[in-house]
Amino acid sequence: MLLALVTIFLVQTWLVYTDPVGRESAPLTAEASRGQELWHAHNCQSCHQVYGFGGFLGPDLTNAANQLTDERLSVVLTSGTDVMPAFHMSSEERAAVRTFLVELDLTGQGQVRAADAMSPRTLFESLFRGTATPDEPILEREERGLTILLEKNCIDCHLPNVGSAYRAADMTRMSGRLGRDGLAAILAAGVPGKAMPVFVLPTPDIDAIHAALDHLEGHGDTVRAGFENAGSGALGALFALPWFEYPRPAEQPAPTSPTPTDS
Ligand code: HEC
Ligand code: HEC
């Protein structure tokens, strides 16, 4: 018996000390270490988890890097959000934090809280497509606009219930109020000081976005009701979760990086 226990102990010890995961994963690069210092200095972990450990005010950031556009990270680290404080980081500090998050992402898998939930963008897409009828199909231009709205992550911030962390305007009530030119102006300039990025887009794309927003406004009641139901039903905490905690459909293009609004 004793011999068996000693043998098990020795085998276990050997396994632990020869564990390839801990040993072969490269140490952080100099820039990532700088990012890690900032991470500690600003106490990010008091609100954010890594591998599920840490505070629960903000999301787990273990695998956030591959889904976080530069623009988004920049805005968050300079202006903060309603809940997260503004750290006013310089571009050099932001780059270091990004490198840290990128290298952190390579070390393993964090906890995806919403593995089974439908993400707001998936819901949005299906509600949008659900508005098509034989009499009124979705036109080619509207379809193109929908693709851009999804590609550029507009829906992540512009939820119909204004429930995203950014409190951005309801996307089902934009087109009439702003008109095509108002929309073009906002896309070209962003909203300085707010989370609204600059989007440099060719005219046909702006027209397509406008067409899609117009279609959306025409079916606003249906789309808003769809979000309302999802928010109060089985998908309960749907809107409380940050966008990157949802699984991304495989065919969905990776988020693009719009031009930063600040530097
Ligand atoms: C006081 C708590 C708090 C601290 C400290 C904090 N955060 Fe956050 N952070 C949040 C919350 C909450 C969110 C989710 C957005 C929201 O609800 O406002 C968030 C969101 C984020 C996001 C994702 C933004 C998005 O697109 O949804 C990133 C990245 C982030 N934080 C990085 C950091 C880093 C890096 C630090 C340290 C320099 C930090 N946070 C410190 C609370 C905090
Ligand atoms: C990172 C979050 C974010 C993303 C992504 C985003 N927006 Fe915004 N947007 C905002 C915020 C926040 C505001 C509100 C600024 C304010 O308070 O005035 C805004 C404002 C706007 C406005 C002005 C609304 C009004 O009522 O005046 C329009 C139009 C708009 N966005 C369209 C878009 C489109 C189209 C896309 C995608 C191509 C997009 N936004 C992507 C955050 C975002």
Using 50, 70 and 90 to split pLDDT, how confident is the model at 83?
Answer: confident
Tokens of 195: 């989370």
Model pLDDT, residue 143: 96
d(CA 180, CA 204): 12
pLDDT recorded at residue 207: 97
- Euclidean distance between CA atoms 128 and 126, whole angstroms: 5
Mean pLDDT of the chain: 80
Torsion from C-alpha of 171, 178, 151, 110, nearest 10 degrees: -50
DSSP state of 235: T
Run of H or E residues at 204: helix 203-218
Q: What percent of the chain has pLDDT over 90?
A: 37
Q: Give the Å distance between the CA of 34 and the centre of ligand 2.
A: 32
Question: Would the CB of 75 count as within 6 Å of ligand 1?
Answer: no
Q: How far is CA 89 from CA 18, 39, 98, 179, 190, in A?
A: 40, 12, 12, 36, 20
Report how far ligand 2's centroid is from the alpha carbon of 240 (Å): 19
3-class DSSP string for 168-202:
CCCHHHCHHHHHHHHHHHHHHHCCCCCCCCCCCCC
Comparing C-alpha atoms, which of 156, 129, 161 is closest to residue 145? 129
| Confidence band for 67, pLDDT divided at 50, 70 and 90 | confident
pLDDT of residue 102: 93
**pLDDT on residue 210:** 97
- Point out the ligand nearest to the CA of residue 153: 2
For residue 45, the one-letter residue type is Q
pTM of the full structure: 0.62
Residue 262 has a pLDDT of 39
Per-residue pLDDT at 162 exceeds 90: no
CB 195 within 8 A of CB 168: yes
CA distance 167 to 200: 23
Q: Is the CB of 41 under 6 A from ligand 1?
A: no
Higher pLDDT, 260 or 12: 12
Among 12-21, 30-39, 56-65, 90-99, name the one with the lowest average pLDDT: 12-21
Ligand 1 center to 243 CA (angstroms): 13
The residue whose CA is least distant from atom 34 of ligand 1 is 44
* pLDDT tens-digit readout, 218-249: 999 999 888 877 765 444 445 555 555 555 54
Ligand 1 in reach of 255 Cβ (< 6 A): no
Decide if pLDDT at 75 tops 90: no
Position 203 scores a pLDDT of 96
Interval between CA 199 and ligand 1 midpoint (Å): 24
Rounded Cα distance between 216 and 206, Å, is: 15
Task: Tell me if 98 CB under 6 Å of ligand 1.
Answer: no
**Residue 164 Cα to ligand 1 middle (Å):** 13
* Tokens linked to 106: 């390579």
Q: How far is CA 144 from CA 147, 157, 241, in A?
A: 5, 20, 28
Walk me through the domains of the chain, giving residue ranges and CATH numbers.
12-106 (1.10.760.10), 120-245 (1.10.760)
Task: Give the residue with greater pLDDT, 16 vs 126.
Answer: 126
Q: Give yes or no for residue 100 having a pLDDT over 90.
A: yes
- Atom 27 of ligand 1: nearest residue by CA position: 242
Checking if the pLDDT of 114 tops 60, the result is no
Tell me if 48 CB under 6 Å of ligand 1. yes
Q: Give the Cα separation of 56 and 40 in Å (integer).
A: 16
Enumerate long-range contacts of 250-257, CB under 8 Å, 24 or more apart: 252/150, 253/151, 254/66, 254/67, 255/67, 255/68, 255/69, 255/151, 255/153, 256/69, 256/151, 256/152, 257/69, 257/70, 257/71
The residues that bridge with 49 in the sheet, in sequence order, are: 54
Q: By alpha-carbon position, which residue is closest to atom 15 of ligand 1?
A: 165
Across 99-115, average pLDDT:
79
- What digits encode the pLDDT tens for the residues 14-26? 776 665 444 445 6
- Reduced 3-state DSSP string for 79-97: HCCCCCCCCCCCHHHHHHH
**Mean pLDDT of the region 4-12:** 87
Ligand 2: atom nearest CA of 156 is 5
Query: How far is the C-alpha of 216 from the C-alpha of 223, rounded, in Å?
Result: 8
